[in-house]
């Protein structure tokens, strides 16, 4: 079970799941004996309410966890309005 916030700068203890976000990642394990058999397991992580307001958690292809600021998602360009005169010409 998850005990603390996944943000290493926060580490707030988990008491209730009322606030915050739980992230579940499917991790594929290669065979221990070199065989082609693969297993998988689920890893659980939690961001507290304060941290999940400002960050997202993702798993990289290199199997590392990355904390991503949400502010980078806020600055998406709006579609440019089409001028009706340009269409009529």
What six digits make up the tokens of 28?
A: 């594929």
Model-level pTM? 0.67
Identify whether the C-beta of residue 21 lies closer than 8 Å to the C-beta of residue 46.
Answer: yes
Count other C-beta atoms under 10 Å from residue 63's C-beta: 10
Could you tell me which residues are beta bridge partners of residue 68? 56
Count other C-beta atoms under 10 Å from residue 57's C-beta: 19
pLDDT in tens, the chain (89 residues): 689 999 999 999 998 888 899 999 988 876 555 566 668 889 999 999 999 999 999 998 888 889 999 875 555 555 555 554 444 44
Count other C-beta atoms under 10 Å from residue 62's C-beta: 6
């Amino acid at each position: 079970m998850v005990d603390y916030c996944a943000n290493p700068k926060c580490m707030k203890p988990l008491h209730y799941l009322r606030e915050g976000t739980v992230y579940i990642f499917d991790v594929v394990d290669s065979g221990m004996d070199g065989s082609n058999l693969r297993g998988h397991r689920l890893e659980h992580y939690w961001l507290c309410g304060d941290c999940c307001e400002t960050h997202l958690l993702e798993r990289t292809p290199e199997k590392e966890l990355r904390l991503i600021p949400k502010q980078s998602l806020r600055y998406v360009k709006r579609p440019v309005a089409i001028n009706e005169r340009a269409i009529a010409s």
